[in-house]
Chains A and B, each alone.
Chain A
């Protein structure tokens, strides 16, 4: 598949463990923050989003935490599975109209 990033930071976890992927953002005016998952050969797939007036949002096996004070976003994946292996990107939307600013990405590797 396509090479998403040759020198991405990598997080390696054991199957069944929890994963935490971090992201720093830069624009204080951003209103929405989104996490995407990209598997080899595919486009980014939406995981979860959070609005700037929230600090936590939960989905199925995933939780996003937002700390606006330090401009930090994290994605927590519970009971990580081999199918979670992918590159994860955070993105921010500043209400300028469907133009996302992406972080550099983190490669998650799940060991069976």
Chain B
């Protein structure tokens, strides 16, 4: 079965612009989590969606937002881009939500470069 897909794979934007990234989870998976990966900060949790609801949010400013659609596909949006937003944005899907552990499957990521 197909894995997690993310589009686009690469993106170049300038400061002040906004960007939307897309993630399609594995078929049947209902939870989507987003992570930011940078050389300086490593992998950091952004937020998680399950059944179209944001259930958890990491320590990122309000410029970072997301949503999930009824087919479990998710988008994340970053407004008023800053140079420090340059990163690899990873999406992970898992079968279920809830508080118990669920194995997460990661997509290849979207490489965002802010100039």
- A interface residues, Cβ below 8 angstroms from B: 2-7, 31-32, 34, 36, 41-46, 49, 51, 89, 91, 93, 95-105
What distance in Å separates the Cβ of B79 from its nearest Cβ neighbour in chain A?
Answer: 22
**CA gap between A97 and B28 in the complex, in Å:** 18
Tell me if A99 and B33 are in contact (CB < 8 A). Answer: yes
Interface residues on B, range: 20 to 34
Tell me if B4 and A99 are in contact (CB < 8 A). Answer: no
- Of B14-22, B61-69, B70-78, B105-113, the stretch lying at the interface with chain A is B105-113
Q: Which of B45, B50, B101, B111 contacts A32 (CB 8 A)?
A: B101
Q: Which of B31, B98, B106 contacts A44 (CB 8 A)?
A: B106
**B31 surroundings in chain A (CB, below 8 A):** 98
**CA gap between A99 and B36 in the complex, in Å:** 12
Assuming the A-B contacts A2-B111, A43-B109, A44-B90, are A97 and B39 also in contact, with contact meaning beta carbons closer than 8 angstroms in the complex?
no
Q: Which of A5, A41, A99, A103 contacts B48 (CB 8 A)?
A: A99
**A99 surroundings in chain B (CB, below 8 A):** 33, 45, 48, 56, 58
**B108 surroundings in chain A (CB, below 8 A):** 41-43
Tell me if B88 and A2 are in contact (CB < 8 A). Answer: yes
Assuming the A-B contacts A2-B88, A2-B111, are A98 and B43 also in contact, with contact meaning beta carbons closer than 8 angstroms in the complex?
no
**CA gap between A96 and B47 in the complex, in Å:** 12
**What residue of chain B has the Cβ atom nearest to residue A7's Cβ?**
B39
**What residue of chain B has the Cβ atom nearest to residue A105's Cβ?**
B42
**CA gap between A90 and B41 in the complex, in Å:** 15
**CA gap between A34 and B103 in the complex, in Å:** 9
**A93 surroundings in chain B (CB, below 8 A):** 101
Q: Which of B31, B97, B109 has the most CB of A within 10 A?
A: B109
